[in-house]
């Protein structure tokens, strides 16, 4: 297969009105990645190194988005929506370059498996001119039926046109099609629009090719591979299927998910063996976790790197740029952003660490805040190896706490602290005997007067 050239033509021009969104339908995400990007990735994994995206609604937004996940793809605009064959022909310039295989895919089918595409391409390599991907279902109502004779596909029949006998067929059209490049334009150009809607249907090339003595066959895939997304409910269902697949993959690779159905991965989550993930954890894009980490319940992690044997949560938030080194701990109700927590350092509870370095073995007490933002700019806090930051301390950046430095609890630190120094940054306590009782009496009298005045 590696010797055969392949172009994937991905149809992504629809408005998706049932999504009720200003965002083009195919840009709605599954696992944090636009659904059309999942289709592009599947095509690439099946050897379709070149892609032609047929766009229409929200064309400018589509072009901008595709630069991120398909920077080399060619974009073709389908100005008028006159059917699927018409949409494919919008990419005529790409198809005419002489590829061995043409894959026709849909931008709203994000669960397509690369192996399904590879199987279709293998049929082309064996001599088929057209390969249609189908699925079997016990309830075929509403789907086009694949009509086969003698192992060949002779027609795709829409349900309204089926005979009573044909309606019993459970092998249905999944939409995806592979076409031999040498026949593609000839077949597509022969598709007519002599039908009730006056549209050019891609499915017509099955009978056109068969009428010319070309081999047309069907290959079978699961229903999930053909699942198209048309509304938010179907988007959520597809997300659920994707997550179920990913959770199983993670567990089979050695990750413990205590309550798998409550853990949500992103499309690029990397997680090492012997990691334990407790219930209700959400992984956003850009998370990398090494082996042996423990992620406690209700943690929210995005754009973070977590080294081996780290301990995170419960109720921790790691934001982009969080970098936890080996055996580091970020505990309950802590937030870390754009900061390195070095080996063995502990940020145990109720703490914000942003734009900072926490040195190896340092201990950060409860309620510590790195004050990194003055309303205009961000500033850096450097906490040295083995430093101890007492509870309820505010470190006003830019500031450095030296190696072994000790910050007394309740301090506001505005100047750098040398190695092994002790720093106090709080007002001296003053105690006034009997003053508490006096204040209570004064406040109670004022409240009574106010109530009496109405």
**Residues annotated as catalytic (active site), given as ranges:** 349
- Is 158 annotated as contributing to ligand binding? yes
- The answer to whether 193 touches 112, Cβ cutoff 8 Å, is no
- Is 337 annotated as contributing to ligand binding? yes
CA distance 253 to 236: 26
- Is 209 annotated as contributing to ligand binding? no
- Is 230 annotated as contributing to ligand binding? yes
CA distance 200 to 57: 19
Convert the chain into a string of H (helix), E (strand) and C (coil).
Answer: CCCCCEEEEEEECCCCHHHCCCCCHHHCEECCEEHHHHHHHHHHHCCCCEEEEEEECEHHHHHHHHHHHCCCCEEEECCCCCCHHHHHHCCHHHHCCCCCEEEEEECCCCCCCHHHHHHHHHHHHCCCCEEEEEEECCCCCCCCEEEEECCEEEEEECHHHCCCCHHHCCEEEEEEEEEEHHHHHHHHHCCCCCCCCCCCCHHHHHHHHHHCCCCEEEEECCHHHHCCCCCHHHHHHHHHHHHHHHHHHHHHCCCEECCHHHCECCCCCEECCCCEECCCCEECCCCEECCCCEECCCCEECCCEECCCCEECCCCEECCCCEECCCCEEEECCEEEEEEECCCCEEEECCEEEEEEECCCCEECCCCEEECECCCCECCEEECCCCEECCCCEEECCEEECCCCEECCCCEECCCECCCCEECCCCCCCCCCCHHHHHHHHHHHHHHHHHHCC
- Is 362 annotated as contributing to ligand binding? no
CA distance 78 to 61: 15
- Is 352 annotated as contributing to ligand binding? yes
CA distance 60 to 435: 70
Sequence-distant (≥ 6) Cβ neighbours of residue 395 within 8 angstroms? 368, 369, 370, 371, 381, 383, 389, 401, 407, 413
- Is 5 annotated as contributing to ligand binding? no
* CA-based radius of gyration for the chain: 31
- Is 83 annotated as contributing to ligand binding? yes
Q: Please give the biggest Cα pair distance in the chain.
A: 106
- Is 363 annotated as contributing to ligand binding? yes
- The answer to whether 337 touches 348, Cβ cutoff 8 Å, is no
- Is 144 annotated as contributing to ligand binding? yes
- Is 11 annotated as contributing to ligand binding? yes
- Is 78 annotated as contributing to ligand binding? yes
- Is 143 annotated as contributing to ligand binding? no
- Is 319 annotated as contributing to ligand binding? yes
Binding site listing for Mg(2+): 108, 230
Q: Mark the binding-site residues for UDP-N-acetyl-alpha-D-glucosamine, compressed into ranges.
A: 11-14, 25, 78, 83-84, 144, 158, 173, 230, 319, 337, 352, 363
- Known binding residues are 11-14, 25, 78, 83-84, 108, 144, 158, 173, 230, 319, 337, 352, 363, 366, 372-373, 391, 409, 426
Binding site listing for acetyl-CoA: 366, 372-373, 391, 409, 426
């Amino acid at each position: 297969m590696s010797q055969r050239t392949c172009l994937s033509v991905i149809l992504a021009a629809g408005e998706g009105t049932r999504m009720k969104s200003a965002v083009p339908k195919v840009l709605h995400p599954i696992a944090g990645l636009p659904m059309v990007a999942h289709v592009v990735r599947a095509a690439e994994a099946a050897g379709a190194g070149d892609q032609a995206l047929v766009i229409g609604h929200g064309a400018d937004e589509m072009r901008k988005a595709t630069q991120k996940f398909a920077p080399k793809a060619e974009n073709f605009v389908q100005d008028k929506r006159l059917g699927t064959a018409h949409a494919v022909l919008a990419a005529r310039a790409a198809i005419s370059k002489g590829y061995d295989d043409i894959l026709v895919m849909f931008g709203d089918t994000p669960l397509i498996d690369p192996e399904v595409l590879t199987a279709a391409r293998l049929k082309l390599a064996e001599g088929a001119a057209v390969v249609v991907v189908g699925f079997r279902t016990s309830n075929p109502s509403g789907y086009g039926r694949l009509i086969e004779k003698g192992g060949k596909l002779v027609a795709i029949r829409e349900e309204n046109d089926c005979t009573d006998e044909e309606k019993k067929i459970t092998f249905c059209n999944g939409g995806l099609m592979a076409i031999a490049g040498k026949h593609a334009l000839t077949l597509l150009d022969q598709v007519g629009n002599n039908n009730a809607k006056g549209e050019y249907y891609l499915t017509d090339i099955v009978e056109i090719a068969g009428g010319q003595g070309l081999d047309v066959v069907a290959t079978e895939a699961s229903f999930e591979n053909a699942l198209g997304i048309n509304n938010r409910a179907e988007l959520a269902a597809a997300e659920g299927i994707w997550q179920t697949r990913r959770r199983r993959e993670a567990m089979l690779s050695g990750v413990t998910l205590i309550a798998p159905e409550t853990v949500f991965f992103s499309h690029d989550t990397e997680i090492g063996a012997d990691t334990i993930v407790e219930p209700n954890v959400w992984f956003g894009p850009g998370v990398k976790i090494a082996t042996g980490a423990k992620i406690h319940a209700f943690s929210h992690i995005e754009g973070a790197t977590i080294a081996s044997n780290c301990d995170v949560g419960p109720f921790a938030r790691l934001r982009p740029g969080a970098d936890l080194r080996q055996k580091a701990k970020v505990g309950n109700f802590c937030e870390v952003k754009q900061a390195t927590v070095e080996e063995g350092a502990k940020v145990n509870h109720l703490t914000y660490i942003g734009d900072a370095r926490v040195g190896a073995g340092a201990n950060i007490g409860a309620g510590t805040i790195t004050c990194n933002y003055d309303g205009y700019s961000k500033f850096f806090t450097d906490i040295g190896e083995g430093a101890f930051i007492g509870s309820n301390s505010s470190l006003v950046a830019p500031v450095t706490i030296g190696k072994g430095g000790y910050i007394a609890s309740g301090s506001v630190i505005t100047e750098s602290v040398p190695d092994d120094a002790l720093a106090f940054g709080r007002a001296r306590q003053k105690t006034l005997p009997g003053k508490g009782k006096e204040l209570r009496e004064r406040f109670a009298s004022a409240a009574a007067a106010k109530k009496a005045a109405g």
